[in-house]
Amino acid sequence: MGSEMVMVADEIPFPPQVTTTKPLSLLGHGIADIEIHFLQIKFTAIGVYLDCEIVGHLQQWKGKTGKDLAEDDDFFEALVSAPVEKFLRVVVIKEVKGSQYGVQLESAVRDRLAADDKYEEEEEAALELVVEFFQSKYFKKDSVITFHFPASSGTAEIAFSTEGKGESKICVENANVVEMIKKWYLGGTRGVSPSTISCLATTLSAELSK
C-alpha cells in the first residue's frame, strides 16, 4: 500500500491506513448528505477502515460483483458482525451544530433498535449519553469524528476533535446500540451513505476474487 492520501469528496484527505491495535486499511469511502431547507448538502466524508482479515469472513460471497454486493444486505450483516476490528473516520464538510448530528444518529439507531424489538431502558440511556456527547460540540469544517469498534467486544469508542481543541472521547458499552451505530454506517441498502456502501462493495468484491 502506498502512503498517498486518498481524496474523498474531491478535497478531503484520508490516510490509506490507520493503526489502532494493528494497521487497518481504508476499504471504503464516500459522503453522507443532509437535507437543509430542501437542499441536499454534502455533510460529511466517510472512510471505513477494516482489518484485512474481514475477507476470510466473507468467503461465501466470492465471485460476486460490487454491484451485487452493494444490494445484498446479508453481505453487510456478515461484515458488521464479523469479529474483526473496524474503524470509521468521519470528516465534517458542512459546518453544523453537533446536536444536529446527534439527533440524526439517535433517530437512526432508535428506529433500528425498535424494529428489532431491542429498544429498552438500557439502550435508551446509552443512546442519550451519545446524544449528550455531541450536543455541546460544534462541527466546524474539517472536524473529525471517529468510531472505533474493537474485534471482540460489543463496545465502541467515539472521539471528536476539532481545530484548536483537544480530542474528547466517549465509550459506548451497550452492545445493541453499538451494533446499530455500525449498521447506520455499514448497513447495506439502509446505510446512511450509499456512496460508501457502493465503494466498500467494489473493494471487497476485488479482495474476494484474489
The residues, ordered by sequence, that sit 6+ positions from 12 with a Cβ below 8 Å of its Cβ are: 45, 91, 93, 142
Phi, psi angle pair for 66, to nearest 5°: -60, -40
Whether the pLDDT of residue 38 is over 90: the answer is: no
> What is the pLDDT at residue 171?
98
Domains and CATH numbers, the chain: 6-53+82-185 (3.50.70.10)
pTM of the model: 0.95
Are 27 and 73 in contact, with CB atoms under 8 Å apart? no
3-class SS of residue 76: helix
The residues, ordered by sequence, that sit 6+ positions from 52 with a Cβ below 8 Å of its Cβ are: 25, 207
Average pLDDT over residues 202-210: 97
> What is the pLDDT at residue 35?
77
Whether the pLDDT of residue 186 is over 70: the answer is: yes
The three cell numbers of residue 206 are: 476485488
Q: What is the pLDDT of residues 6-17, one digit of tens each?
A: 999 888 999 999
Element (H, E) at 69: helix 66-70
3-class SS of residue 208: helix
> What is the pLDDT at residue 165?
87
Q: Where are the beta strands (DSSP E) in 66-207?
A: 86-92, 96-97, 138-139, 144-149, 156-161, 168-172
Average pLDDT over residues 29-37: 87
Place of cell 429498544: 119
> What is the pLDDT at residue 2?
52
Cα–Cα dist 51/27, whole Å? 9
